[in-house]
């Protein structure tokens, strides 16, 4: 590593300790009917920072309190206040401003704006799930695993050839939208349900998978946040849930930093409630994560966890990630060399089908308290995180138009099928 890079990392580490995280404009404005909310609220701007060639460099940038939008092997895209941007420049980094996408005109409050009508809001999703359950009653069952902070039902969908029986078959879980602004993931989970339901009995491969697996889908795990993100009729760039934090004004917890495995262990989440990666007051302090935990725990029957494999969908960056996120070491207590090799083998096989980049989660940057780390550490579930389309804010970032939904959800069909096929014995699965 060059002297300049060592100096940059050192300066960033010192700044992270010496300067409190900015609390400026990290809460989205309350929606009103007066006009379109800005895509990036307050005085924050989006930047691309290149030349970040190691996980350590990317981690130190993330620790400055910026909102990491996406990233890759040598860059991060971030949203930063002027103060945060000045700190990064003071460390010798070059910030290239990203132009903001043009916002559409305001549509009706509480719904997606023009050009995004193909996305499902919460009520539309619920209606579509009811329709699927009515149309395919022998294959699709819709229930709930709990309530969100604002008392929205957290939907749970089961797909199986004997959907009302609990068979002794491998179970696979797909979860979406822990982060509110990642609406494409809701469409991904809905697409999985639709494709498996419609394909059963007509597509031999799907019929075989549905007949030999029990598939569970949580299509929107943060409904309060997703609804808030579109409440004004535009986009609020909202990430967290909508749970108040006692004694302070910033609202919300980052659900994917609130999980109990290595919670707040390693500088991979925010301690300041204003931070976009705020990990919450304690492990599972958010009702949304606590209720997923309780449901997953309930799938331990006769001492055996029935769920063998899992994908948690996010946007954006086009990555396939696997545990652990809290350490850059390939192995750690509970994840030996054989396990790490299996994660890599299946992750690379799935990435070969969709063109994403495969890597251990911490190869991007350190995160702690994530769902994937908990799924593996607590239950040895082969858990992967997919960062979906696009690669950059320049391609729409968290808000690609609805014309991209069909292509980008279908893009993951082979990877989904590969995981389902491997679910009976992931370490011994025959992979392409």
Q: Do 296 and 377 form a contact (C-beta atoms < 8 A)? A: no
Main-chain phi, psi angles of 147, to 5 degrees: -125, 145
- Per-residue b or e along 2-29, where b marks 16 or more CB atoms closer than 10 Å to that residue's CB: eeebeebbebbbebbeeeebbbeebbbe
Q: Do 161 and 144 form a contact (C-beta atoms < 8 A)? A: no
β-pair partners for 68: 78
User: Is the pLDDT score of 220 beyond 50?
Assistant: yes
pLDDT tens digits along 206-219:
999 999 999 999 99
Q: Which residues contact 279 (CB under 8 A, 6 or more apart)?
A: 253, 254, 257, 258, 263, 264, 269, 270, 271, 368, 369
Q: Pick the range with the lowest mean pLDDT from 2-6, 104-108, 135-139, 358-362.
A: 2-6
Write the Ramachandran bin of 154: left for phi over 0, alpha for psi from -120 to 50, otherwise beta. Answer: beta
Confidence of residue 44 (pLDDT cuts 50, 70, 90): confident
The predicted structure's pLDDT at residue 110: 84
User: Is the pLDDT score of 21 beyond 70?
Assistant: no
Bridge pairing between strands 307-315 and 382-388: parallel
pLDDT tens digits along 374-394:
999 999 999 999 999 999 999
Domains along the chain with CATH numbers: 3-97 (3.30.70), 122-428 (3.40.630.10)
Choose among 349, 347, 264: nearest CA to 311: 347
What is the per-residue DSSP string for 318-361? Answer: -EEEES-SS-SSS-BTTB-HHHHHHHHHHHHHHHHHHTPEEEEG
Tell me the average pLDDT across 40-52: 79
The predicted structure's pLDDT at residue 358: 98
Q: How far apart are CA 175 and CA 245, in angstroms?
A: 25
Choose among 181, 180, 174, 185: nearest CA to 218: 174
Tell me the average pLDDT across 202-207: 98
Tell me the average pLDDT across 344-351: 98
Q: What are the tokens at 75?
A: 């860059």
The predicted structure's pLDDT at residue 38: 36
The predicted structure's pLDDT at residue 109: 80
Q: What percent of the chain has pLDDT over 90?
A: 85
How many of the other CB atoms lie within 10 Å of CB of 111? 16
State the chain's mean pLDDT as an integer.
Answer: 90
Q: Which residues contact 151 (CB under 8 A, 6 or more apart)?
A: none
The predicted structure's pLDDT at residue 353: 98
Q: How far apart are CA 29 and CA 236, in angstroms?
A: 8
Confidence of residue 33 (pLDDT cuts 50, 70, 90): very low
Choose among 51, 26, 50, 54: nearest CA to 40: 26
Q: Which of 39-53, 223-237, 307-321 has the highest mean pLDDT?
A: 307-321
pLDDT tens digits along 53-92:
999 999 999 999 999 999 999 999 999 999 999 999 999 9
Nearest-5° angle of CA 429, CA 309, CA 303? 105
pLDDT tens digits along 145-167:
999 999 999 999 999 999 999 99
The predicted structure's pLDDT at residue 101: 63
User: Is the pLDDT score of 4 beyond 80?
Assistant: no
User: Is the pLDDT score of 35 beyond 80?
Assistant: no
Q: What are the tokens at 88?
A: 């990064």
User: Is the pLDDT score of 237 beyond 90?
Assistant: yes
Pick the catalytic residue from 84, 214, 387, 393.
387
β-pair partners for 357: 319
State the Cα torsion 260-327-245-66 to the nearest 10°.
-160
Residue 227 is among the residues annotated as catalytic for this protein: no
Q: How far apart are CA 54 and CA 209, in angstroms?
A: 39
Choose among 322, 320, 321, 318: nearest CA to 400: 318
Confidence of residue 234 (pLDDT cuts 50, 70, 90): confident
Q: How far apart are CA 15 and CA 99, in angstroms?
A: 27
pLDDT tens digits along 276-290:
999 999 999 999 999
Q: How far apart are CA 265 and CA 279, in angstroms?
A: 11
Q: How far apart are CA 327 and CA 344, in angstroms?
A: 16
The predicted structure's pLDDT at residue 99: 81
The predicted structure's pLDDT at residue 19: 37
């Amino acid at each position: 590593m060059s002297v300049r890079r060592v100096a940059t990392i050192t300066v960033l580490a010192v700044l992270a300790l010496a300067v409190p995280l900015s609390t400026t404009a990290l809460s989205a404005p309350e929606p009103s009917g007066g006009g379109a909310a800005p895509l990036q609220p307050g005085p924050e701007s989006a930047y691309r920072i290149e030349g970040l060639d190691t996980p350590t460099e990317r981690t130190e940038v993330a620790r400055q309190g910026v909102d990491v939008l996406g990233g890759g092997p040598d860059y991060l895209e971030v949203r930063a206040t002027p103060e945060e941007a000045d700190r990064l420049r003071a460390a010798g980094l070059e910030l290239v401003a990203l132009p903001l996408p043009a916002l559409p005109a305001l549509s009706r409050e509480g719904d997606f704006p023009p050009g995004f009508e193909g996305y499902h809001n919460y009520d539309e999703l619920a209606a579509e799930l009811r329709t699927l359950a009515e149309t395919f009653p022998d294959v699709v069952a819709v229930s709930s695993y709990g309530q969100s902070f604002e008392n929205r039902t957290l939907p749970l969908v089961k797909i199986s050839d004997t959907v009302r029986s609990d068979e002794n078959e491998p179970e696979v879980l797909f979860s979406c939208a822990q982060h509110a602004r990642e609406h494409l993931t809701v469409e991904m989970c809905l697409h999985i349900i639709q494709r498996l339901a419609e394909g059963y009995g007509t597509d031999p491969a799907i019929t075989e998978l549905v007949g030999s697996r029990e598939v569970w889908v949580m299509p929107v795990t943060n409904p309060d946040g997703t609804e808030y993100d579109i409440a004004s009729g535009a986009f609020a760039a909202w990430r967290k849930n909508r749970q108040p934090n006692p004694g302070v004004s910033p609202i919300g917890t980052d659900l994917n930093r609130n999980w109990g495995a290595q919670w707040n262990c390693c500088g991979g989440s925010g301690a300041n409630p204003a931070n976009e990666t705020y990990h919450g007051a304690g492990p599972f302090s958010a009702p949304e994560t606590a209720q997923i935990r309780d449901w997953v725990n309930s799938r331990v029957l006769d001492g055996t966890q029935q769920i063998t494999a899992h994908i948690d969908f996010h946007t954006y960056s086009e990555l396939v990630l696997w545990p652990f996120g809290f350490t850059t070491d390939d192995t750690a207590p509970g994840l030996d060399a054989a396990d790490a090799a299996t994660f890599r083998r299946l992750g690379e096989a799935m990435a070969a089908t969709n063109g994403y980049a495969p890597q251990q989660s911490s190869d991007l940057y350190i995160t702690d308290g994530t769902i994937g780390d908990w799924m593996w550490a607590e239950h040895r579930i082969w858990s992967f995180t997919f960062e979906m389309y696009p690669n950059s804010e320049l391609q729409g970032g968290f808000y690609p138009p609805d014309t991209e939904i069909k292509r980008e959800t279908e893009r993951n069909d082979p990877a989904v099928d590969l995981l389902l096929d491997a679910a009976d014995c992931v370490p011994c699965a025959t992979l392409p």
